[in-house]
Amino acid sequence: MIEQLVQNISNDNIRDFFKRKLPSFTPETEELDYILPENGYENFSDLIKLGSAEYDNSDELKKFRVIIK
């Protein structure tokens, strides 16, 4: 399953993977480029939150995607 995800990487495939693996996963798209500092991060772009999942003990796991040049 992870091999297929890596070979066919896309935002939709990442979301589908986490929806299958984590029942509490909630898809949520949010552009977060504003978080990346301008200096030292020139090779990174298109930071996007793809969703999050909460656990019973109140920990939260967030999924992001970023493009590295």
For 59, list phi and psi in degrees, rounded to 5. Answer: -70, 155
Helix (H) or strand (E) holding 46: strand 44-54
Task: Say what the pLDDT of residue 68 is.
Answer: 58
- 39 vs 10 pLDDT, higher one: 10
pLDDT tens digits, residue range 14-66? Answer: 888 888 888 888 888 888 888 888 878 788 888 888 888 877 776 666 666 66
